[in-house]
Each structure stands twice: as C-alpha cells, then as structure tokens.
Amino acid sequence: MSPRIPRGRAERGMTLVEVLIAILVLTTGILAVGRLIPAATRGQMSDRMLTQGNAYAQQKVEDLQTLTWSDPLIADGRHPAGTTNEPLGSNGQWERHYDVTTLTAPLDNLRKVVVTVEWDYQGPHTVAATTYVRR
C-alpha cells in the first residue's frame, strides 16, 4: 500500500471566481496600455513636426549668415513683405518668414534676424531662431 498524501487546501487549485478576477485584472491592464499607444503616436508626430520646423528655421539662418550687409535680403523689415509666408515642405504644411532689425547705437553695426516657422498640427505652432549679422 502506498503512503497517503494528505489533501489540504493548498492542492485544490483555482476557483472559477479567481480565474474571472484574474481575467478582469489582465483585461483592464491591456486596455490601459492600448489607450497609451495613440497618445504616444500623437506625441511622436508632434515632436517630428517640431524637429522639422527647427530644421527649416536653422536652414534659413545659415543662408542669411552668408549675406553681406548691403544685400537687400537682409534689409530692415519683414521678408517676404506684407503678411505672406514662404511655403515649405512637399505640401506647404510649414510656412516661414523672417524679420530684420538694425540695432541702435552703439550696436548699430549689427542686424538682428528672427526667422519664424509656423505650422498647424493639432493647433497652431511656432518656432523662432535668432541670429545677428555684422557690418
């Protein structure tokens, strides 16, 4: 005859109620993580748009830094003139303009150039880059 193994509470296994509660907890966790994915995607797209806007601003700053003091592209005022903007990107989603101001004495040998890039992704956004051009 083989030895008898006592059957205690530890050997009974899981009840149906315990299984249902485990499934409920697991499902709640999965749904919570599932709701984070669209938010992360929107955040990633917003960051990508900001990075591209900064690149467009920096590109224009680098172009303007190569110009001489007498170049009409860095004359005082808004460029392009009026309220128009330079469309950028394959679909014109970004727009760019820049403002030039000659500083007052004793810094009148400097022009302040502020390049502004605007776009609309889940609301309007703007980024600006500033540089100075010396006489």
Identity of residue 53 = G
Query: pLDDT confidence of 10, banded at 50, 70, 90?
Result: low
- Give the phi and the psi of residue 22 in degrees, each rounded to 5: -65, -40
Q: Indicate the Cα dihedral angle 105, 114, 85, 117, nearest 10°.
A: -170
Does 95 have pLDDT greater than 80?
yes
**Cα–Cα distance between 102 and 100 in angstroms, integer?**
7
What is the model's pLDDT at position 13? Answer: 75
**Cα–Cα distance between 45 and 9 in angstroms, integer?**
54
Tokens, residue 93: 């989603």
Query: pLDDT confidence of 21, banded at 50, 70, 90?
Result: very high
Enter the DSSP assignment of 70: T
**Using an 8 Å Cβ cutoff, are 64 and 98 in contact?**
yes
Tokens, residue 50: 């900001």
> Mean per-residue pLDDT for 69-82?
93
pTM of the model: 0.72
| Residues in contact with 133: Cβ distance below 8 Å, sequence separation at least 6, in sequence order | 64, 65, 67, 69, 74, 110, 111, 113
